[in-house]
Structure 1
Amino acid sequence: MEEMLFKQLQFVRDHTLKVMAGVTEEMADITPEGFNNTIRWNLGHIYFVLEVFAFEKNELPTKMPEDFSKLFAPGTSTADWEDTTLPTINELTLLLQDQQGRIKATLENHLHENSKNPIVTKSGLKLVTVAEFLNFNLFHEGVHVSTIKLYKKLLEK
């Protein structure tokens, strides 16, 4: 069961990285009409949330670049980005590529332990164990990858 969770996390992340193919710096910062954020925000948000779920909620050291909380935390918006150096698509790619290996190496034998900081999601799901946080991320990342795919389709027209 544990090995399957890590396989699924890697599968989803590999898909995220494939979807990123062809995203230019310019494309990454366009907010399609009727939407709130950009491809860059969605990618940073994917990284940010999993970093919080896997490490911060377990009181483990994160690899969180400066300003990521201000840029990519839930509830943030690109409309609020002012005088901030944004991570490049290449930087986001490297962070996303590295993250899964760090998670497996750190949490591999701790999936059934309770998180130090359980939460209840906005939709009412209580996340208590390390595995529950990581499992929920499969859904969370999928939602944002779907958004990125939609944005790419809209922007390529």
Structure 2
Amino acid sequence: MEATFKTWKTSRGIYLNFLENYTLEQLNKIPQGFNNNLIWNIGHVIVAQQGLVYKGAGLQGHVSDEMFGKYGIGTNPNEPVTAAEQEELKSLLMGLIEQTESDYQTGKFISFHEKTTKTGFHLSSVEDAIVFNNFHEGLHMGYMMSIRKFV
């Protein structure tokens, strides 16, 4: 799992670069032909990880229900993200890695509700969910690499 967490930290560092190097206007722009923007993808990977790992293990996550409602599966941006929300996402982006790694190392994830993702991955353990999360975040990184060309 050490390599998996290392990969996740590296990926999240790339996401952080978007938050730090693009203007709020650029982060919020939905280019023609796309249905979301850079900052929505960042919010989405944050809540998706919490759903995959914590909810999958039957635990309360570390983000609000409002955040799940705004960035969860099947949502799209319906209003621009504010500077305050950008700062919250920045904090969660990296802070939740430390929290999840600590919770994993202290044995907080006792059980897991098996499921098959929409992409066909069968998750039977928290380890599967953490590994799949890296795959999922890679997909969204690809979307962001495309979007950034148009903002």
Shorter-chain TM-score: which interval? 0.7 to 0.9
Aligned-partner SS, 2:61:
coil
1: CA distance, partners of 2:72 / 2:95: 20
Provide closer, same or farther for how the CA distance between residues 144 and 111 of structure 1 changes in structure 2, counting only shifts above 3 A: farther
User: Could you say which residue in structure 2 is the equivalent of 1:150?
Assistant: 146
Q: Which ranges of 4 or more aligned residues in structure 1 deviate by more than 6 Å?
A: none
Does residue 1:94 correspond to 2:91, yes or no?
A: yes
How do 1:1-157 and structure 2 match up within 5 A? 2-78=1-77, 81=78, 88-108=85-105, 110=107, 114-115=111-112, 117-155=113-151
- What is the percentage of aligned positions where both structures have the same residue? 25
1: CA distance, partners of 2:106 / 2:127: 10
2: CA distance, partners of 1:152 / 1:22: 11
CA RMSD, aligned part only? 2.3
2: CA distance, partners of 1:121 / 1:39: 23
Q: Any unmatched runs of 5+ in structure 1?
A: none
Number of corresponding residues: 150
Instruction: Say whether the 8 Å CA contact 2:27–2:38 is kept in structure 1.
Output: yes
Q: Any unmatched runs of 5+ in structure 2?
A: none
Instruction: Say whether the 8 Å CA contact 1:110–1:130 is kept in structure 2.
Output: no
Aligned-partner SS, 1:100:
helix
Q: Give the number of the structure whose residues are more often strand, by fraction.
A: 1
Superposition TM-score, scaled by structure 2 size: 0.87
Instruction: Say whether the 8 Å CA contact 1:29–1:39 is kept in structure 2.
Output: yes
